[in-house]
Amino acid sequence: MQADYVIVGAGSAGCAMAYRLGEAGASVIVVEFGGSDVGPFIQMPAALSYPMNMSTYDWGMGTEPEPHLGGRSLVTPRGKVIGGSSSINGMVYVRGHARDFDHWAEAGADGWSYADVLPYFRRMEHWHGGTSEYRGTDGPLHITRGPRDNPLFDAFIAAGEQAGYPVTPDYNGAAQEGFGPMEATIYEGRRWSAANAYLRPALKMGNVQLVRGLARKVVIEDGRATGVEVERGGKIEVIHAGREVILAASSLNSPKLLMLSGIGPAAHLAEHGIEVVADRPGVGANLQDHLEVYMQFASKQPITLYKHWNLLGKALIGAQWLFTRKGLGASNQFEACGFIRSRAGVEYPDIQYHFLPIAVRYDGKVSAEGHGFQVHTGPMRSPSRGTVRLRSADPADKPVIRFNYMSNPQDWEDFRACIRLTREVFAQEAMQPFVKHEIQPGAAVESDAEIDDFIREHAESAYHPCGTARMGRRDDPMAVVDPECRVIGVEGLRLADSSIFPRIPNGNLNGPSIMVGEKAADHILGCDPLTRLNLQPKTSQDWREKQR
C-alpha cells in the first residue's frame, strides 16, 4: 500500500489535512485504529456523556496517581473512532483568545500569531451567526448556537452582567471577555465532527483512503520517514509514503509514536531498548490541560433537565431526535458561557465558564438533590507541566501520563479566586428566582484550606491535553516540530495536532486543533500561507488596574 501522504489519526487535525491534501490532488491514506461513528450515541448531541465512557469509542487512558490531587488517577478520554475526539467531545467551539496565538509566535512558532491563524479559522468555519470580518461563512465546519429556551441560560448571562462583566455577542470574534451565548459544532441537529465536516467529503474524492489498523511506529530509513508500520487483521505491514508521513494521533498518542520510532529523550528510549534516531528531549514534555470543578446549585424551580433524567424522559427525547433531529436531543446543553479575568493585571481572560441547566457529572451521574444546575469552571493558563512517557516498547501498551496538576502555588491561588468569583455571579439578582442553595462545594466551604480540600477531592480534567511535541525554532532544544510542523531531526515527517501547541489556548481545543490541520496542510503542500488579517482583539482598557 502506498500514497503520497500517510496520515496517522482520523481526528480533528487529521481529517482536515486529509481533505485539503486530497482537494489539491494528492493521494492520501489515513490510518485510524477506531471504527465507525455511525449511531445515535455519537451523532445525537445530547448523548455526549455516553461515547467518552464507552470502550468502543475511547482509548481508555488514565493518569498515574496525581500527587497534588490526593493521589487520584484521572480518566483521560481520547477518541478511538473516525473523527477522533471531535466525535466524543462536548461539541463546544472556542477558538482561543487572540493573545494565545501571539504568545505562540513569541515562543518561537513564527507565522502562528493571531494575524496568521485568523485566516485559517475563517477558512474552516461555516458560521451561522451572521456576518463578521472575524468569522468565516463558507467553510466545512458548521458552527451554531443553541436556542437558549431554558430561562436559566439568559439568567446566567444577566447575572454576569450584574456582577460587572461585559456581555459579549461573539466570544470567537472581536471580544472574548464577558458572558454570552456558547457556540457548538452542531448542524441540523447532529454532531458536526471533523469526520462529518472533512473526512466524509474527502473519502468521496477517490484519492483519499481510510485504512483501519494500529500504527506501531514510523519507518525511518537513512534519516527519512518512508512509511508507517501498521498492525491490522493480526498481520504487520508497512504503508509507504511517497512524499511524507504525518502524525495526527493526539497529544497522548503522537509523542508515544515518536518515541516508539526512536524520536525522543535518548535516555528514556534507551531504557526501553529503542534505537535513537533523533534525541529530542521535548517529546512527551510540556504536557498541559485545563482542570475544572463543577459548581452545583439546587434549583428553586423545576425547570432543569432533571425532569427528563429518567428512562421515559430519555426515550422521548431520543425518539424525537431520531425522527425530527430537533428538541433537547439536538443540543449539547452548553448554551451559555463566560470568560473573565481572575484579577487586575491579567490582560485577557484566564477563567472560563460552561453553564449547564442540570447538576450532573460527565459520566452521567446526576446530583442526589434533584433539580439543579451547574457551571464548569477553572483557570485557563496553569503554569503546571507534565509528561507522556512510554510504558514499554510494546505499541499496544498505553502511555504513562503524568499531568502534575496543581504542582505550582499559582494554581491554588487561581482556583480559589475562580470559586469565589463564581459565587459572586450566582449571588446576583438575576439568579435569585432560581438558586435555592449551593450543593457543591457548599456554603460551609469558605476558607482557603477548605476550598483547597474541595479542589483536591473534586477537580477533574476538562479533557484538553496538549503541548507534548511543541512547535518552536529549529535551534530550540525543547522544540519537537518547526513552524512548518516538520519534526526536527528527521526528513519527511510532520506532526500536526494539539501536541504542537506551545501553550494551551483559552477554551476548548477542538477548534484550534482543526485550525492546525488546516494551516499544516498549506505547509505540507508548499503553498503560500493565507494573507495575514490584522484585526485587533478588543481587550479591557483598564486591565492593569481592574479585575472587571
Residues involved in catalysis: 464
Q: Is 52 known to sit in a ligand binding site?
A: no
92 annotated ligand-binding residue: yes
d(CA 161, CA 333): 21
Does 508 belong to an annotated binding site?
Answer: no
Three-class DSSP category at 167? strand
The per-residue DSSP string of 515-533 comes to HHHHHHHHHHHTPPPPPP-
How many alpha carbons fall within 13 Å on the CB side of residue 316?
Answer: 8
Are the CB atoms for 422 and 353 separated by under 8 Å?
yes
207 is in an annotated binding site: no
Question: How far is residue 267 CA from its own chain's centroid?
Answer: 31
Alpha-carbon torsion, ordered 414, 420, 423, 425, to 10 deg: -70
In the three-class reduction of DSSP (H, G, I as helix; E, B as strand; rest coil), residue 339 is classed as strand
Q: What angle do CA 21, 12, 81 make, to 5 degrees?
A: 110
Name every residue whose Cβ is closer than 8 Å to that of residue 38 and which is 6 or more positions away in sequence: none
Find out whether 351 and 321 touch, Cβ atoms under 8 Å: no
Residue 53 assigned ligand-binding role: no
Q: 415 vs 266, 292, 450, CA distance in Å?
A: 37, 9, 12
Q: What are phi and psi of 541, to 5 degrees?
A: -65, -35
Q: Quickly tell me which residue has 510494546 as its cell.
A: 394
- β-strand partners of 230: 215, 237
Cell triple for 229: 508500520
Strand-strand pairing, 372-379 and 61-62: unpaired
Spatial distance between the Cα atoms of 370 and 298, rounded to a whole number of angstroms? 8
C-alpha cell of residue 379: 483557570
Q: What angle do CA 465, 76, 295 make, to 5 degrees?
A: 85
**Contact status, residue 525 vs residue 17, Cβ threshold 8 Å:** no
Output the known binding site for FAD. 81, 89-92
Output the known binding site. 81, 89-92
